[in-house]
Structure 1
Amino acid sequence: MSNHVVSVTERLVQPILNEMQLELVDVQFDQEGSNWYLRVFIDKPGGVDIEECGQVSEKLSEQLDEEDPIDIAYFLEVASPGAERPLKTEKDFEKYVGEYVYMKLYEPIDGEKEFEGTLQSFENELAVVEIRIKTRTKRLEVPFNKIAKANLAVSFN
């Protein structure tokens, strides 16, 4: 059900975002306790404000009510991805070269399965990330298809 809800939501929200010149970052349909949450993350260069989130929420809510793809009660949240924006597509990786990222892999590379570091480059489906291990740095070459999860991270160095 979750995948169906996500795909229907993506289809319904995309024209709204295109019209407002906003970008769809992610759609999640998750259960927390006894409640279900449909979360839509949107962005644009310079970030989105609360008013834009409200407009998208209102328009999307109308579309969801009309199509009615979800047969249980849920809360709709439209928000900015914030400082720890997920990186989902190859385009995201290309866009954020030079940024500090968190990655979790399906299988270890050079003994590392979960790490933070600076995204040095992304070309031909290969991310190069420079990580620090105590006092030295190490470069990892990570194939795009080995990345389970990635997002921008906040560095405390």
Structure 2
Amino acid sequence: MDKKILINKLIDLFNPIVTELGYEFYYLEFVEEDGENFLRIYIDSENGIGLSDCEKVSRRISETLDEEDPISSSYYLEVSSPGVFRTLFTDEHLNKYINSNISLDLNKLYEGKRNLEGKLIKFDSDNIIIYDENNEFSIPRNTIDKVILKGEL
């Protein structure tokens, strides 16, 4: 099965479970790292996420995976919080954190830098615009590997 189709199927399968348990379905990724497959489901809540929350969701997801068996290869299931320094994966995530401080990991140099930090001002399908202490930068999205919220502890 095509990976994108599989991911969409998994999202459709797990989003209602996570929501029913009282959590926000933040993101899902199915990735290979060091020759192993990982199914990662990120959950969130206004009250924060603890280990018991992850365990509760993991048990329900595991039951569904056993029943549906949608993944033909072996994998490890991980359920976790996106964390304070969360990756902003989607446009919905970016929109939620407009005027927040972010860090951008770039796949090539932008004005001599591979990492930029600043306040997220706006974005569109082509660019993410941030403002640091002195300048506004419009960074092409195709040069961005990762957008990370600079949370406060």
CA contact (8 A) 2:122 2:130 kept: no
SS of 1:69's equivalent in the other structure is: coil
Q: For the residues of structure 2 that align with 1:141 and 1:45, how far apart are their CA atoms?
A: 31
Q: CA deviation at 1:18?
A: 1.8
Q: CA deviation at 1:149?
A: 2.9
In structure 2, relative to structure 1, the CA distance for the partners of 1:33 and 1:107 (3 Å cut) is closer
Q: CA deviation at 1:38?
A: 0.7
Name the structure 2 match of 1:79.
80
- Equivalent pairs counted in the alignment come to 150
CA contact (8 A) 1:25 1:86 kept: no
Q: For the residues of structure 2 that align with 1:113 and 1:98, how far apart are their CA atoms?
A: 22
Residue type matched to 1:70 in 2?
I
Q: For the residues of structure 2 that align with 1:13 and 1:31, how far apart are their CA atoms?
A: 20
Name the structure 2 match of 1:6.
7
Q: For the residues of structure 1 that align with 2:99 and 2:21, how far apart are their CA atoms?
A: 28
SS of 1:83's equivalent in the other structure is: coil
Superposed CA RMSD in Å reads: 2.8
SS of 2:135's equivalent in the other structure is: strand
Name the structure 1 match of 2:122.
122
SS of 1:41's equivalent in the other structure is: strand
Name the structure 2 match of 1:46.
47
1:149 aligns with 2:152: no
Structure 2 unmatched ranges of 5 or more = none
TM-score when scaled to structure 2?
0.78
TM-score when scaled to structure 1?
0.76
Q: For the residues of structure 1 that align with 2:29 and 2:75, how far apart are their CA atoms?
A: 12
Name the structure 2 match of 1:131.
132
Between the aligned residues of both structures, percent identity stands at 31
Q: CA deviation at 1:97?
A: 2.5
Q: For the residues of structure 1 that align with 2:21 and 2:142, how far apart are their CA atoms?
A: 32
In structure 2, relative to structure 1, the CA distance for the partners of 1:19 and 1:145 (3 Å cut) is farther
In structure 2, relative to structure 1, the CA distance for the partners of 1:72 and 1:124 (3 Å cut) is closer
Of 137, 140, 144, 2:137 maps to 140
Per-residue CA deviations over 1:29-71 (Å, capped at 9, x if unaligned) read 1222232111111111232121111111111111111111111
Q: CA deviation at 1:148?
A: 4.7
